[in-house]
Structure 1
Amino acid sequence: MTDYESLSRLPIFDNTLLDWSIALGVAAVALFVLLFVRRTVRTYHSKMQATTEKELLEIPIQVLSRTTLLLLVVVALFIGSQWLVKGPAVQRVLQSAVTIALFWQAGIWMVAAVAIWLDRKRQRSLATDRAAVGSLGIIGFVLNVVIWAMVLLLTLDNLGIDITALIAGLGIGGIAVALAVQNVLGDLFASLSITLDRPFVVGDFLIVGDFMGSVEYIGIKSTRLRSLSGEQIVIANSDLLSSRVRNYGRMNERRVVFGTSITYETDPAHIERIPSLIREIVESQPDTRFDRSHFAKHAAASLDFETVYYVLSADFNKYMDIQQQINLRLHRELLAMGVEFAYPTQKLYLVDQTPAPAGAVKQRRDSPLDATSSKADE
């Protein structure tokens, strides 16, 4: 007996045309009802989204609105098949089809629920915990992999495949795959390390080697920075963790060191006054903490002062505004005292080479000259 003959002898083909018509009619009515219910759910969800309030049933309704047409068709056909005479084999096939469709629909529902939860978590974290934002994408990826792996295994088990042997085979094959994609896996584990350890978060300003920029996105394989000049910098997570990273996003205050140079002709009384003057100027600025100001050294062409203070903010623009006000006031105060700022100068000593009478002493005259006058004398 051929396969075609054995198939034609199944009990389902013993049904009359009237039985098939009733079954198809019932299936059509069931499909219409299911479509109407799905449309009602989606309409209600649209109304809930139009309001700003977060309602208790909003997430379940949004998840149910992701119901696929394939599931509705399979369920409607299963309902219609109940009006037909079927054998055990056909009944098992129909039950397996409905079960597999439910498994995959459940996977879609769970993925949708995870996406909705992560989106709400991301919106809350942007204002309160920026560190969580970078880890949400990695968490979502891991959860999606777990969900679809479970759906696939349940589907194979329902089809009669021994998943125990399959899992064992995947474990052996996984070693070979891991060796082939070890760079990708290295970046994946590096992203998990970033998620757990949180050396930086979205929004932090980093300097990594010769590159600098604010963290824009932390992904599975790479982290993306937005540089000051506007371009995007993509760095592999494994390279990022193996580098020395300077994180300015964790800066609470900024230490500032600046110098002031004056000429050697300055009166000693003014030299003694300058450190206290600088302290007074720094302390008059808001959001600063003065540390010290000293006459540091006698340089080649100037008397150098060194000042240290702290800006009680990590904002670079605010630091520059404060430093500008300090420089402007210091410039005015020193000019009012008659103190000149030093600039690179060179003093040349000229010796008269004219032969002197016997017994006379040669006189040396010295005067500060710039490079142009010294060449003219030569």
Structure 2
Amino acid sequence: MTHFFNYMLLGNTISIWIFFIICLFGGCFVVKMAGNKSIGLIKSLLTKQKIIPVDSVIAFIEFYAIFFIYGIVIYLCLGLLSLSPLFQKIYNMFGNILFVGSLTLLLTETTDWFLQNNMQKQEIKPIIKTALPGFSKITKILIWLIAVIFFLENLGFQISTLVAGLGIGGIAIAFASQIILKDLFSYVSILLDQPFAVGDLLTVGDLKGTIEHIGIKTTRIRSLSGEILIFSNTDLTESRLRNYQHMKERRVVFSIGVIYDTPLGQLKEIPDIIRKIINNITNTRFDRAHFFQYGDSSLIYEIVYYVIGSEYNKYMDIQQAINLEIKDEFEKRKIEFAYPTQTLLIEPKLGS
């Protein structure tokens, strides 16, 4: 019997293999039982403390922490065996992957949880809420990039030599990524300067719409006619924008014309009529009304007033109410609106 346990199999005795199997399955069984107990205990503790979201922590433990502990058990158990040089390299690589991967996942999940937790705060600015998902992606990419570099360094690769060896290919990649980096810096500029946020009504050149999404590279705007307009962040930061969202009041200028036959007394009354009409409408502030100029076929009045607020539909409702009231008052006073007319003077022929 002793001879059987001393029998060599793949460089290890049978007794070592049996001990390896017992440790492996025993360790996994202990992790399974302890994991279930720990999850229940942590869940009840976090529920009482109400410090951080319970679901996100439990999900992290179930999907990452438990598998990480299983990996540690497997790694320690494999250390009991005498491995060939090839398998020893694989074993060391597995250890590096386990260490670097678990640490990277911990950092990325912690970063993601921190950003998501900040997004749920009511006092945070809308533009920050918009930017946090993008920054979460950028942070995760940077963490994984550092992790890959660290992993390759541990495997013996010279990263500096590899980067230098890219040569012309590296220069080509740098030029190709220039536009992307430019949009990324523009995204950071939008975040820090905060010229607009999701939900703001913007005019970009001759295009107008409401911002629906601000991404790392592009921003999507819903136009007034319904289609989606996609702008690169660089285009927006280099353009002249009109942001109507924070407009406290809207200045409105419009004109009306009356016929030339209107009596002088009524011409003098028109500014006061319009002033009373605008003052009787809520959310407005009257500025002025003047007999502005002599038109081709009308006497033109220019009226200026302010609408309190930035909503476009509100402004249109008020303008409509003003127009209807002016029409009603002019009809009562027999004041006629002008419209394009032409007067033809026909001279009689001599001798007729």
Sort the TM-score into its range (normalised by shorter chain).
Answer: 0.7 to 0.9
Check the 8 A contact 1:12/1:87 in 2, yes or no.
Answer: no
How far does residue 85 in structure 1 lie from its aligned partner after superposition? 6.0
Q: Match for residue 262 of structure 1?
A: 258
1:299-332 deviation line (CA, Å, top 9, x unaligned): 1111111110111100001111111111111111
Check the 8 A contact 1:208/1:246 in 2, yes or no.
Answer: yes
Check the 8 A contact 1:130/1:201 in 2, yes or no.
Answer: yes
1:74-118 deviation line (CA, Å, top 9, x unaligned): 322123345556799977864653343121122122222222222
Partners of 1:228 and 1:23 lie apart in 2 by 69
Check the 8 A contact 1:12/1:84 in 2, yes or no.
Answer: no
Number of residue equivalences = 343
1:181-232 deviation line (CA, Å, top 9, x unaligned): 3222222222222222222221112222232221111112211111122221
Check the 8 A contact 2:31/2:66 in 1, yes or no.
Answer: no
Check the 8 A contact 1:203/1:216 in 2, yes or no.
Answer: yes
Partners of 1:198 and 1:43 lie apart in 2 by 44
**Among candidates 314, 320, 326, match of residue 324 of structure 1:** 320
1:338-367 deviation line (CA, Å, top 9, x unaligned): 1111111112222232625xxxxxxxxxxx
How far does residue 155 in structure 1 lie from its aligned partner after superposition? 1.4
Q: Match for residue 106 of structure 1?
A: 103
**Among candidates 123, 127, 130, match of residue 131 of structure 1:** 127
Q: Match for residue 342 of structure 1?
A: 338
Q: Match for residue 4 of structure 1?
A: none
1:264-317 deviation line (CA, Å, top 9, x unaligned): 121211111111111111111112111111111121111111110111100001
Percent of residue pairs identical: 36
The letter of the residue matching 2:297 is: A
Structure 1 pair 48–292 and aligned structure 2 pair: CA distance change class (3 A): farther
Partners of 2:9 and 2:72 lie apart in 1 by 18
The letter of the residue matching 1:97 is: F
Q: Match for residue 3 of structure 2?
A: none
Partners of 1:226 and 1:45 lie apart in 2 by 45
Q: Match for residue 366 of structure 1?
A: none
Q: Match for residue 51 of structure 2?
A: 55
**Among candidates 19, 31, 36, match of residue 28 of structure 2:** 31
Check the 8 A contact 2:43/2:58 in 1, yes or no.
Answer: no
SS at match of 1:151: helix
Q: Match for residue 375 of structure 1?
A: none
Check the 8 A contact 2:187/2:233 in 1, yes or no.
Answer: yes
1:151 matches 2:155: no
The letter of the residue matching 1:278 is: I
The letter of the residue matching 1:311 is: V
Partners of 2:324 and 2:203 lie apart in 1 by 31
Partners of 1:267 and 1:40 lie apart in 2 by 95
Check the 8 A contact 2:252/2:304 in 1, yes or no.
Answer: yes
The letter of the residue matching 1:342 is: A
Check the 8 A contact 1:12/1:85 in 2, yes or no.
Answer: no
How far does residue 69 in structure 1 lie from its aligned partner after superposition? 6.9
**Among candidates 3, 12, 34, match of residue 15 of structure 1:** 12
Check the 8 A contact 1:23/1:84 in 2, yes or no.
Answer: yes
Structure 1 pair 249–168 and aligned structure 2 pair: CA distance change class (3 A): farther
TM-score (norm 2): 0.84
Partners of 1:205 and 1:311 lie apart in 2 by 17
Structure 1 pair 32–42 and aligned structure 2 pair: CA distance change class (3 A): same
SS at match of 2:260: coil
**Among candidates 291, 300, 311, match of residue 295 of structure 1:** 291
Q: Match for residue 214 of structure 2?
A: 218
Check the 8 A contact 2:35/2:66 in 1, yes or no.
Answer: no
Partners of 1:89 and 1:283 lie apart in 2 by 90
Q: Match for residue 286 of structure 1?
A: 282
Structure 1 pair 149–171 and aligned structure 2 pair: CA distance change class (3 A): farther
1:246 matches 2:242: yes
Deviates more, 1:258-267 or 1:13-22: 13-22
SS at match of 1:156: helix
Structure 1 pair 116–284 and aligned structure 2 pair: CA distance change class (3 A): same
Q: Match for residue 80 of structure 1?
A: 77
Structure 1 pair 68–166 and aligned structure 2 pair: CA distance change class (3 A): farther
Partners of 2:40 and 2:166 lie apart in 1 by 44
Partners of 1:123 and 1:213 lie apart in 2 by 27
Q: Match for residue 362 of structure 1?
A: none
SS at match of 2:302: strand
1:183 matches 2:179: yes
Partners of 1:118 and 1:171 lie apart in 2 by 38
CA RMSD of aligned residues (A): 3.3
Deviates more, 1:115-124 or 1:83-92: 83-92
Structure 1 pair 171–135 and aligned structure 2 pair: CA distance change class (3 A): farther
Q: Match for residue 161 of structure 1?
A: 157
Check the 8 A contact 2:183/2:234 in 1, yes or no.
Answer: yes
Task: Give unpaired runs (5+ residues) of structure 1.
Answer: 1-10, 357-378
